[in-house]
Amino acid sequence: MKYGYIIGVCSVVLASLVVGCGDRPITVREACNSDPTMCSDLNQDNWCNAERRQLILTRYSHKMNPSAESKYYLLKDLQNYSQCIELASAIEHKKLKEKQSHRIEAYINSLRNIEKRAQETRQSEHPLLLYWHWANRNNQAALKRLLALEGAPIMQTSELQFALATYYAKENTDKMLAYLYRALRLYQPGQRFNVEIPESLATYYLNQGAVDKAYVWSLVAVNFKSKVLDVEQLDDIFTQPDERKKQLRDIADRLTDRITEGRFNLRPDWSVPTN
């Protein structure tokens, strides 16, 4: 299965929940034509294409169906775009200086937009936005309100289980691991998948010296289009025999299938829950 293509499409289309004519996914061009302000403050060259595309579609989705959840993903995508265009703005274009200046302008715009959205959501009680303000603004009051909801039904989503895992990463690694696996079990097709979940598992197992599991979760992250891991990099890090790596790749592919189809059902010890 060509995971890179499939997950790349799903992460943009399904996460954005946007449709065009005849219930087909709307294109970036159509979104920009429908409302040029969604695109006019972004760079127009080829830098940060993936981040720019996702941000435009998320903006369109938020316009069509504004909600606390869409505000969270809008903030998240603005940040991803801002981080990318910040790096691009520092790259000098020797022939066309105006392209560099446009990227700088786009970066400044992104910072303004993040700050605007942050102020708009500062008093929100939705757990996704509480998480964002704690993780990105070190808002301890938001963290306190988030943890007060820990066992509530509203927290039973993949993204919010990951949010709890990030808190417990320094406080209680057993809880962190339990929440990461639960985040995978709660994922359903059509939802937006957070590749930081398998990336976090890979990091944890590598630090624990569990190299086989670290390799497996690294491959799962690559299957889900990780931006921080690639196959060549993994071959340099992991030194298992080729036959063992093949076995682990097969396991990673099966896990990717299960997650993608909403059938993942393992606990941290790789047992199956009985309830």
Q: What is the predicted pLDDT for the residue at 10? A: 37
Residue recorded with tokens 């996914």: 25
Whether residue 9 is predicted with pLDDT greater than 50 in this model: the reply is no
CA gap 220, 252 in Å, rounded: 5
CA dihedral 181, 186, 192, 198 (to 10 degrees): 10
Task: Give the E-state strand segments of the chain in sequence order.
Answer: none
Residue 89 structure tokens: 């703005």
Q: Residue 12 above 60 pLDDT?
A: no
What average pLDDT does this structure show over 63-74? 97
Categorize the per-residue pLDDT at 17 as very low, low, confident or very high, splitting at 50, 70 and 90.
very low
* Share in percent of the chain as helix, strand, coil (round to 5): 70, 0, 30
Q: Which of 156-160, 225-229, 255-259 has the weakest average pLDDT?
A: 225-229
Least confident of 90-99, 104-113, 251-260: 90-99
Q: What percent of the chain has pLDDT over 90?
A: 79
Exposed / middle / buried, residue 162 (Cβ in 10 Å: 0-12, 13-18, 19+): buried
Closest CA to 70 of 144, 106, 120, 9: 120
Instruction: Answer yes or no: is pLDDT of 136 > 50.
Output: yes
